[in-house]
Amino acid sequence: MNYKVIIRLMRHDQWVKNLFVFLPLFFNANIMNIDQAMFCVYAFAGFSFGNP
């Protein structure tokens, strides 16, 4: 499997929309809370690798 296929599977054109899962961290000033940040990272990865 080459990198083009991996990037396409990650749905890079949807990343801007997927970044919205990080907005609550910024608005609640919890960006340094590692537990909540990891939940957002998992959600971002899940949305990125979700079904197209």
- Specify the pLDDT at position 12: 62
- Specify the pLDDT at position 22: 79
- CA distances (Å), origin 31, targets 42, 43, 46: 15, 15, 20
CA-CA distance, 5 to 31, in Å (whole number)?
32
How does pLDDT run across 2-49, given as a tens digit for each residue? 777 776 766 666 677 777 787 888 888 877 888 888 888 888 888 777
- Specify the pLDDT at position 35: 86
| Residue 49: partners with Cβ closer than 8 Å, 6 or more residues away | 9, 10, 11
| Residue 1 confidence class, pLDDT cut points 50, 70, 90 | low
Say which amino acid occupies 4: K
- Specify the pLDDT at position 37: 84
- Between 1 and 37, the more confident residue is 37
